[in-house]
Structures are given as C-alpha cells and as structure tokens.
C-alpha cells in the first residue's frame, strides 16, 4: 500500500461529504456529511504520519485532537439543529432561509 | 482720545447693538430693544460729532490706519479706515439720521410683532453704512456695499407676507446687483492694473500716469455703473420706488438719506479718477441730468405718497450726479448732506401722515390735515420748502451750488434741464402738500395720533433742514474743509446772481401752479389730463420702463431659463438616472444570489475554489 491510495480514499470520502452537504435536504444528513469530510481529513493526517516524507507520531496526535473537536462540533451542531427545529418546526435545510438578503 | 478709539466708538456700538438685540430678542421688551438701539446709535453719534469737531472746527488732519488682512502673491490686502473730510461728513449724516430713525421707529413700529428683528436689521444697516463711508480701499467698500444691500433687501421685504413687499425686495436686490457687477469688474481691473485695492495707490498711479487713459475711463465708468445701481440712476432706477414697500422709517434711513447716497459718495470719493477721465465725467453728468428730469416728471403723476417721495429721491440723486459730473464736487456733496436731512424729514413726516390716515398711502384719499395737525403740517412744509429750494432753507443753497457748477462747466443744455427739473420738483412737492394738507378730510372716522417719539426726530430734522445751509453760506467753510481732503484743489465757482434768481423764480412758478391746481382748485386737474391723456398715462405708467424691462429682459431670460431647465431635466438628469439605474440592476443581480440557503452558498464557494485551483494550475502549466 502506498500513500496515493490513502489520499485517493480520503479525496473520495471528502467529495461524498461535500456532495452530501450541498445536496441533502435533511439537516441531520448535512451534519453527517460534515463528519464524513472531517474524517477524510483525518485519513489524510494519519496517512501522512505513516507514509509521508518525514514520518512521525504528531499526525496521529492531531487526528485524536480533531476527533475530539469533531465530537464537540457535532454536539453543538445537533443542539443548534434542535433549537432550529423547535423554532421553525422543520429539519429541512432549505427551509432555513432567514439569511436571505 | 486716540483716533482709533474714537473710530471704534463709532463702529462698535451698532454692531454690539445688533448682536444684543438679535440674541436677546426673546427676552427683551420693546422698550428695552428701542433703548438699546437708541443708546448705541447715540454713542455712535457722539463719536462722529467728536471726529467732526476735530476735523471741521479744530482743522486737525485725522490719520488713516491700516492693517494687513491677508497677503495675495506678496500683495497685502488691507483693512482700515480713512478720515478725510468727506468720510467724516458722511459719518455725521449717517449717524444723525440713523439715531433719529431709531427713535422714530419706536413710535412707528410699536404695533409690529417683529419689532426686535426690525431693530436688529436697523443696527446692522447702520454698522455697515458706517463701515462703508470710512473705507480706505475698494475691497472694503465693496464688502460693506454688499452688506448695506443685504440690509436693504431684508428691510424692504420686512413685511414679507405681503406679495408686493416680497417682490420689491427681490427686485431691489437683483437690480442693484446688476450695478454691483460693474463695480466688481472695476475693482478687478484696478487690482489687475496696480496690484492693490487701496484708493491711495490708485490715486498715485493715476498721477504718475502708469495707467492708460482708456483704462482709467473704463474703470471710472464701471465704478459709475455700481453707483447707478445703488443710487437709482436712470436705467436701474426702477427698484427704488418699489422699495417703498418697506416700513417708512426704512425708506427714510436707507432709501432716502444714506444707502442710496452711497453711489454719490463713491463717485465723490473717487473723484480724482473721474477728473482724469473726461468721458466718464460726461457720462456721470448726462446720466445724472437725465435722471433728474426723468424722475421728476414721473413724480408729477404718481398718487402714492411714498412713491412721489421716492421719485423725488431719484431725481435729487440725479442732481447730485449732475453736479459731480460738472466738476461740482462741493455742490454734489453739499446737496447730498442737505438732501439727507430734508428727505429724511419728508419721509418721516409722510410716515406720520400715514399713521394718521391708518396706513393709507393714496394721496387722493387724504386731505385737510392742516386743520387736524398744525405741527406736522409745519414740519412737512419745511421739508417741501427745503427740497424746492426756497431761501433760506438748506436746499436753496445746495441746489444753487449745483446749478452754478453746471453753468460754469458750460453745458447749457444740462443747465436748462436742471432748471426745468427744479420746476417739476416744486410742482410735485406742492401738489403733494396741497392735496394732503388742504381741502376737506375725505376719510371718515377717527384719525390716528402721532406719538411723541415720532414728532421729536422730525423736529430735529426740520431744524437741520433749515440751518444746514449755513455751513457753506456765507462763510464757505464747508467747501474749504472738503477741499482739504482733495489732492489738488478744484476751482471754486464764481457766484452769479442770476442763477439763484432764476432758480427761485422757477420754483415759485411750480409752487404757484401747484397751488392753482391743487390748492385753490382754480384750474381743474381733470381738464388738463383730459386734453393730453396719453401724456398723463405715460407718466402714470412711469414711461413704461417696467413693462419694457419685462418684455426685453425678464421674459427672454425666463425663456432661456426654461430651456436650460429642460436641458437639465432631460440630459443631465437623464445621465444621472442612467448611472443610478445601472447600479440598481447590478444590485438586483447581487440580491438574487443572496437567497438565504447556506447550501447554495457552499456550492458557490466550491465553484469559486475549483475556479481558483484550475486557474492556478493553468497558470503554472502555461508558464
């Protein structure tokens, strides 16, 4: 196995996540997609830590940080989503258009 | 006392008075306002009297004083004062009449709501006029010249709720403005030629011959154009009779005694300039002479008491110009002084007459005042006799000087014109007198009363109108005093016996005719106007000058204005709207993007990112 296949996997995951963020109507699905994108980045970090030009442990340590922060982010995101659901009575992302100029 | 202190004593009180009345107009009572006005002008009057005493009686030469205001290309522009005899004389005239008018206005304006505003304008006017008459340079004269113009505008339009007053104020401002442009060009030319606004420098430059004679003539004529506007001379006289829409004390102070004489003062103050330009002197003389007779004939047919006096003022100012144009410096200035006193008296008396008849101005509706108010009749008669030039009233001496000056100058045509104008003057003044004061009262009901605050100033002015001639005749002290202010002496006139005799006879003739028609009614006025109705109509309509200006100037100008307005609306406005429209469309396109969908925004960001990456890569590959 070499670096390229890991990077390719990460890129595919990232694109799937991005596609989900842009197209999914359900806000929960959008949040899931964001997790996908984050994890794509994590794969990148780990891959570089193992097969990069200067392999060392710090990439994996950063991945642990990112996972922790992603957990916190998911918690905040779901909390906001709940609040929005209570206010607007819907979880459809395209109904949240109060930013309209 | 220092001269500068004295000058400050003359100038500052009125300015302070203006500020106090302006700032305190909510709190001050009418009496306090009037008191402030009278006290400040009183101090001014005392200061001017001291200066006059120093200059006239003690024969001191008063120093001039200057400070540099700003520098323009290393050329200093100065401010200061000058106290030649002419300036001091003007100070006396302005402060005396202003003081008396302040006093008189207490009676006349008592019922007016904007009493304090009126007094503040009066104070500002007095200040500006005093500043004007002691200015040593043209720029300073011009600044104060415009200030008095503004005050005149404000005071003519004082009763702005009357349409006529509003229109008259605008007319006064715009018509004098036409003259002011001439004045302004003259000042600019002077600065271009000698690089200084100082009258002294100009005088020196002319003596040294460093300005070409054509340029001197041009400057002199343009200065005179300014004087024409301010002093209501022939082509620009139309504003002065209309300015009578203002309150009567204003007519007495501004439009009879002081401001309208500013034009005469300007010509007298730059007399050496006119002497160096014979053509300009001719222009002054002919315009003055023509105005004198022209306005006098209009005065015959008018029926509004104040308008008759206004045309009389125009005519008398024409006399002064005629005198100056005939190298009669002393005569012109002398008549300026006497005229200030007796015309102010006549206007104040006319104001009293109007109070009695409840603000009626049509003399045909008046009559029989002699039986009601002997004092007023006497005062008015003094004014009439003075302006008509009956000895020993002051008008006789000054008018005599003028006729003498014209005679000596050798323009016999103008002399005849002046004498005929004197006849008309006598006729219209006594037509006014007999119509208002003799005969039967035509108004029913209670007549108004003249307050004492109004009578006193009139008595003072009447005394001045009687004795003012004594400063010149028989001792010649005025002329020798005024002569000191001139660089080179002017040849004095040999007195001649037949000129005054003719003048008095002609005036008596005019009075007699007026008596026959309007006093004893031996000759019917109707029959005379019946035989020559077109002439009467011509005079009533003031030679159709207003109508002429309307069709020749106002309507074409309005047409041009209309065209320009269309141009502005369609083309300029169109361009502006086009610019605005484009921006609006762009904005609409921008708002279409802002649909509030976070997902759309994300999509756009991704597109942007892709474009960025692609272009970066393309750049790298192409390089």
Predicted confidence at residue B320, as pLDDT, reads 92
pTM for the model? 0.78
Q: Which pLDDT value is given to residue B343?
A: 92
- Residue A63: which pLDDT band, with cuts at 50, 70 and 90? very high
Which phi-psi region, left, alpha or beta, contains residue A90 (left: φ > 0; alpha: ψ -120 to 50)? beta
Q: What is the rounded average pLDDT of the residues B9-35?
A: 87
Compute the nearest-CA separation of A87 from chain B (Å).
17
**pLDDT level of residue B488 (50, 70, 90 thresholds):** low
What is the pLDDT at residue B107? Answer: 86
B1-10, B59-68, B482-491, B612-621: least confident range: B482-491
Q: Torsion over CA of B282, B283, B287 and B289, rounded to 10 degrees?
A: 0
Residues B409, B339: contact at Cβ < 8 Å? no
Domain ranges of chain A: 3-89
Mean local confidence (pLDDT), A48-56: 88
Closest-CA distance of chain A to residue B593, Å: 8
- Consecutive H or E run containing B81: strand B75-81
Q: How far is B554 from chain A (nearest CA, A)?
A: 54
CB contact under 8 A, A94 and B594: no
Q: Give me the percent of chain B exceeding a pLDDT of 90.
A: 33
Give chain B positions within 8 Å (CB) of A96. Answer: 596-598
Q: Distance, in angstroms, between B556 CA and closest chain A CA?
A: 53
Per-residue pLDDT at B127: 93
**Interface A:B, Cβ pairs < 8 A:** 33
Of B590, B596, B603, the CB nearest to A98: B596
Whether B250 contacts B148, CB under 8 Å: no
- Position B389 scores a pLDDT of 86
Q: Do B598 and A93 touch (CB under 8 A)?
A: yes
Nearest CA to A36 out of A49, A18, A24 is that of A18
Per-residue confidence (pLDDT) for residue B55, from 0 to 100 = 87
pLDDT at B489: 63
Tens digits of residue pLDDT in B454-468: 888 999 999 998 888
Mutate to test the interface with B, among A16, A24, A34, A99 (most CBs of B within 10 A): A99
ipTM of this model? 0.84
Q: B586 pLDDT band (50/70/90 cuts)?
A: very high
CB contact under 8 A, B602 and A98: no
Chain A residues near residue B593 by CB distance under 8 angstroms: 101
The residues near B612 (Cβ < 8 Å, ≥ 6 apart) are none
> In the structure encoding, which two tokens stand for residue A87, read together?
């206010």
Cis-peptide into B474, omega within 30 deg: yes
**Mean residue pLDDT across chain B:** 87
Token pair 């309208």: residue: B260
| Residues in chain A within 8 Å Cβ distance of B606 | 18, 22
Q: Are B598 and A96 in contact (CB < 8 Å)?
A: yes
C-alpha distances (whole Å) from B45 to each of A92, B40, B84, B453 are: 91, 9, 18, 18
CA distance B577 to chain A (A): 25
- The closest of A89, A88, A74 to A30, measured between CA atoms, is A74
CB B230 within 8 A of CB B176: yes
* pLDDT value of residue B111: 81
In chain B, residues with a C-beta closer than 8 Å to the C-beta of A90 are none
- Given this model, what pLDDT does residue B322 score? 92
Chain A partners within 8 Å of B605 (Cβ) = none
Residue pLDDT, tens place only, B374-401: 888 999 999 999 999 888 888 888 888 8
**B444 pLDDT tier (thresholds 50, 70, 90):** low
**Contacts of residue A14 in chain B, CB cutoff 8 Å?**
none
Model confidence at B199, pLDDT cuts 50, 70, 90, reads: confident
User: pLDDT category, B316, cuts 50, 70, 90?
Assistant: very high
**Residues of chain B found within 8 Å of residue A97, distances taken between Cβ atoms:** 595-597
Q: Residue A22: its chain B contacts at CB < 8 A?
A: 599, 602-603, 606
> Which tokens hold the place of B533?
């109705």
Optimal mutation site among B587, B593, B598, interface A, most CBs of chain A within 10 A: B598
Q: Which is nearest to B354 in space by CA: B213, B479, B449?
A: B449
Inter-chain CB proximity A93 and B599 less than 8 Å: yes
Residue A77 with chain B: CB contacts under 8 Å: none
pLDDT at B494: 65
Partner-chain contact A22 B591, CB within 8 Å: no
Look at the domain A3-89 and name its fold. Answer: Helix Hairpins (1.10.287)
Structure tokens at B517: 């028609």
pLDDT of amino acid B108: 87
Residue B543 pLDDT more than 70? yes
Q: Is the pLDDT of residue B275 over 60?
A: yes
**Cα–Cα distance measured from residue B351 to residue B368, given in angstroms and rounded to the nearest whole number:** 17
Q: What token pair was written down for B384? A: 């009439």
> For the stretch A73-83, what's the b/e string if a residue is b when 16 or more beta carbons lie within 10 angstroms of its beta carbon?
eeeebeeebee
If you measure CA to CA, which chain A residue comes closest to B588? Answer: A101
Best of A11, A18, A22, A80 to mutate (most B CBs within 10 Å, chain B): A22
B:127-166 residues touching chain A, CB 8 A cutoff: none
pLDDT score, position B616:
94
Token output for B88:
């001091």
Largest Cα separation within chain A, whole Å, is 51
What pLDDT does residue B502 have?
A: 87
Yes or no: say if B366 and B435 are a contact pair by the CB < 8 Å rule.
Answer: yes
Quote the tokens at residue B109.
Answer: 């304006």
B68 beta partners: B78
Q: Torsions phi, psi of B80, nearest 5?
A: 170, -160
H helix intervals, B109-136: 115-133
Which residue in A23, A30, A97 is closest to B596 by CB distance? A97
| Identity of the residue in A21, A100, A101 whose CB atom sits nearest the CB atom of B602 | A21
Residue B395 contacts residue B340 (beta carbons within 8 Å)? no
Residues 586-605 of B with CB under 8 A from A: 590-591, 593-599, 602-603
Across the interface, do A97 and B597 touch by the CB < 8 Å criterion?
yes
Closest CA to B105 of B120, B121, B119, B93: B119
What is the average pLDDT across B230-239?
89
Cβ <8 Å between B596 and A22: no
Report whether B414 contacts B286 (CB < 8 A).
Answer: yes
**Residues in A touching B598 (Cβ below 8 Å):** 93, 96, 99
Which of B62, B122, B119 lies closest to B89, judged by CA?
B62
State mean pLDDT over B351-371: 83
> Scanning the structure block, which residue is given the tokens 């009363």?
B449
Residue A33 has pLDDT above 80, yes or no: yes
B-chain CB neighbours of A21 within 8 Å are 599, 602
Cβ contact, residue pair B596, A18, below 8 Å: no
Q: Which residue of A has its CA nearest to B589?
A: A101
pLDDT band, very low/low/confident/very high, at B554 (cuts 50, 70, 90):
confident
CA B310 to chain centre: 11
Question: Which residues in chain B are contacts of A31 at CB distance < 8 A?
Answer: none
* Cβ separation A94–B599 shorter than 8 A: yes
| pLDDT at B440 > cutoff 80 | no
Three-state secondary structure readout of A26-88: EHHHHHHHHHHHHHHHHHHHHHHHHHCCCCCCHHHHHHHHHHHHHHHHHHHHHHHHHHHHHHH
Cβ-nearest to A100 among B596, B602, B603: B596
For residue A5, the number of C-alpha atoms closer than 13 Å in the C-beta half-sphere is: 2
- Give mean pLDDT, residues B57-62: 82
Q: What is the pLDDT of residue B290?
A: 92
For the stretch A8-28, pLDDT in tens is 999 999 999 999 998 988 989
**Spatial distance between the Cα atoms of B95 and B48, rounded to a whole number of angstroms:** 7
Alpha helices, DSSP H, located in B53-159:
85-108, 115-133, 138-156
Output DSSP code: residue B363: G
- The DSSP 8-state label assigned to residue B554 in this structure reads I
Chain B residue with Cα closest to A96? B597
The pLDDT tens digits for B105-114 are 988 888 888 8
């Amino acid at each position: 196995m070499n670096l390229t296949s890991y990077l390719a996997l990460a890129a595919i995951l990232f694109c799937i996540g991005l596609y989900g963020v842009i197209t999914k109507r359900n806000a929960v699905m959008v949040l899931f997609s964001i997790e996908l994108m984050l994890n794509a980045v994590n794969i990148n970090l780990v891959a570089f830590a193992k097969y990069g030009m200067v392999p060392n442990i710090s990439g994996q340590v950063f991945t642990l940080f990112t996972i922790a922060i992603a957990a916190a982010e998911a918690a905040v995101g779901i909390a906001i989503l709940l609040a929005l659901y209570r206010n607007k009575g819907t979880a459809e992302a395209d109904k949240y258009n109060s930013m309209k100029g | 006392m220092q001269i500068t202190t004295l000058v400050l004593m003359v100038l500052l009180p009125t300015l302070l008075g203006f500020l106090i009345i302006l700032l305190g107009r909510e709190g001050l009572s009418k009496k306090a306002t009037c008191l402030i006005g009278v006290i400040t002008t009183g101090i001014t009057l005392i200061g001017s009297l001291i200066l006059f005493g120093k200059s006239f009686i003690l024969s001191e030469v008063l120093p001039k004083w200057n400070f540099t205001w700003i520098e323009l290309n290393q050329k200093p522009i100065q401010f200061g004062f000058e106290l030649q005899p002419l300036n001091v004389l003007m100070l006396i005239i302005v402060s005396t009449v202003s003081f008396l008018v302040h006093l008189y206005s207490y009676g006349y304006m008592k019922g007016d709501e904007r009493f304090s505003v009126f007094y503040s304008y009066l104070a500002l006017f007095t200040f500006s006029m005093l500043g004007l008459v002691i200015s040593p340079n043209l720029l300073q004269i011009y600044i104060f010249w415009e200030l008095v113009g503004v005050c005149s505008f404000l005071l003519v339009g004082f009763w702005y709720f009357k349409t006529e007053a509003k229109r008259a104020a605008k007319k006064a401002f715009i018509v004098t403005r036409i003259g002011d442009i001439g004045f302004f060009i003259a000042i600019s030319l002077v600065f271009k030629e000698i690089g200084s606004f100082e009258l002294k420098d100009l005088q020196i430059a002319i003596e040294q011959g460093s300005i070409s004679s054509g340029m001197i003539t041009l400057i002199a004529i343009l200065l005179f154009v300014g004087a024409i506007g301010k002093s209501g001379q022939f082509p620009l006289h139309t504003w002065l009779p209309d300015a009578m829409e203002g309150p009567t004390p204003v007519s007495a102070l501004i439009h009879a005694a002081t401001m309208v004489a500013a034009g005469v003062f300007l010509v007298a103050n730059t007399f050496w300039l006119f002497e160096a330009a014979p053509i300009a002197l001719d222009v002054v003389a002919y315009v003055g002479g023509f105005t004198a007779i022209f306005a006098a004939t209009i005065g015959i047919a008018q029926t509004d008491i104040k308008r008759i006096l206004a045309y009389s003022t125009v005519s008398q100012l024409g006399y002064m110009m005629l005198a100056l144009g005939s190298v009669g410096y002393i005569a012109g200035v002398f008549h300026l002084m006497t005229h200030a006193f007796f015309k102010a008296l006549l206007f104040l008396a006319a104001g009293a007459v109007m109070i009695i008849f409840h603000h009626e101005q049509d003399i045909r509706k008046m009559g029989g005042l002699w039986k009601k108010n002997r004092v007023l009749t006497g005062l008015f008669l003094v004014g009439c006799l003075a302006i008509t030039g009956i000895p020993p009233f002051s008008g006789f001496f000054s008018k005599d000087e003028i006729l003498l000056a014209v005679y000596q100058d050798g323009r016999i045509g103008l002399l005849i014109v002046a004498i005929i104008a004197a006849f008309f003057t006598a006729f219209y003044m006594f037509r006014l007198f007999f119509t208002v004061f003799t005969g039967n009262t035509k108004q029913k009901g209670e007549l108004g009363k003249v307050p004492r605050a109004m009578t006193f100033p009139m008595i003072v002015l009447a005394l001045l109108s009687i004795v003012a001639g004594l400063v010149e005749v028989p001792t010649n002290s005025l002329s020798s005093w005024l002569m000191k202010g001139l660089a080179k002496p002017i040849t004095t006139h040999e007195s001649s016996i037949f000129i005054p005799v003719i003048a008095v006879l002609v005036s008596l003739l005019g009075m007699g005719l007026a008596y026959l028609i309007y006093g004893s009614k031996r000759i019917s006025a109707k029959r005379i106007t019946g035989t020559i109705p077109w002439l009467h109509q011509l005079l009533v309509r003031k030679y159709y000058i207003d109508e002429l200006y309307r069709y020749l100037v106002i309507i074409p100008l309005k047409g041009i204005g209309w065209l320009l307005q269309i141009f502005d609306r369609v083309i300029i406005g169109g361009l502006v709207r086009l610019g605005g429209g484009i921006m609006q469309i762009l904005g609409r396109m921008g708002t279409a993007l802002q649909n509030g969908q976070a997902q759309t925004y994300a999509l756009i960001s991704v597109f942007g990112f892709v474009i960025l990456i692609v272009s970066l890569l393309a750049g790298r590959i192409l390089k």
